[in-house]
């Protein structure tokens, strides 16, 4: 889950100890997030000119002991990520909103301008694949006579007018480490641009809409055969 909201109080070194205390013992690992800008330019009649600028402290990164839960408190918003093994969607939303409440206390934002849920799925398919249409509902067609597809990248942006939610659906086919399989990455990023309140009650309806549309896109992207591989 990612929320864009400009912090009313810029993060400072004194903020980290407070967050560390509040997030213990679940998120024992932490570090500062800093930004640097590099420049490289060529001017007529002169040699290359380079330089860098330290943009300073941008926020803080927290990680659970097992590395499965990650939270970022930044000057431009908040992000919560859950890695494998995945839990159910309600647990993810509840933990994300709990941490968001702490961000509101510490950073004092005034309004949420963008709310997003992103899910990255790795689908392992045995080779030879044959017809990709057996596994995916939207696949590119290779040029006639070119042979079998071994890789592709597609990106589609859609807009659901009723909820004003947009979804970026990216499909990538790549070789897996196992020579006997291919991996399809199905990346679904659902988001809404709007001015929203800061409370969990203000955000949850939009989060539920994002999650519902994400589920529709996921199951609309794969066939029953693919779904059966993960039952």
- Mean pLDDT per block of 10 residues along the chain (231 residues) reads 90 87 94 88 78 87 96 95 87 94 94 95 81 87 79 92 93 77 92 94 94 94 89 66
> What CA–CA distance (Å, rounded) separates 91 from 86?
10
Q: How far is CA 88 from the centre of its chain?
A: 17
Predicted TM-score (pTM) of the model is 0.86
The pLDDT score that the predictor gives to residue 167 is 96
> What CA–CA distance (Å, rounded) separates 8 from 60?
16
The pLDDT score that the predictor gives to residue 176 is 63
Residue with tokens 């380079």: 50
Residue with tokens 């597609």: 154
């Amino acid at each position: 889950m990612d929320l864009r909201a400009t912090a009313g109080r810029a993060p400072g070194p004194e903020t980290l100890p407070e967050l560390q205390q509040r997030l213990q013992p679940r998120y024992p690992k932490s570090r500062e997030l800093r930004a640097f800008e590099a420049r490289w330019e060529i001017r007529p009649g002169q040699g290359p000119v380079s330089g860098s600028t330290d943009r300073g402290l941008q926020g803080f990164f927290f990680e659970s002991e097992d590395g499965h839960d990650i939270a970022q408190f930044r000057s431009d918003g908040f992000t919560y990520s859950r890695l494998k093994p995945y839990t159910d969607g309600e647990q993810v939303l509840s933990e994300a909103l709990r941490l968001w409440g702490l961000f509101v206390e510490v950073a004092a934002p005034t309004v949420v301008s963008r709310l997003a849920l992103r899910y990255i799925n790795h689908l392992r398919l045995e080779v030879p694949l044959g017809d990709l249409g057996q596994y995916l509902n939207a696949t590119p067609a290779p040029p006639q006579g070119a042979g079998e597809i071994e890789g592709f990248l597609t990106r589609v942006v859609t807009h659901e007018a009723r909820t004003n939610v947009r979804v970026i659906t990216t499909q990538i086919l790549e070789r897996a480490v196992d020579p006997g399989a291919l991996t399809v990455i199905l990346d679904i990023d659902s988001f809404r641009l709007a001015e929203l309140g800061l409370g969990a009650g203000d955000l949850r309806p939009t989060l539920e809409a994002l999650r519902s549309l994400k589920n529709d896109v996921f199951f609309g992207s794969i066939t029953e055969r693919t779904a059966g591989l993960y039952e």
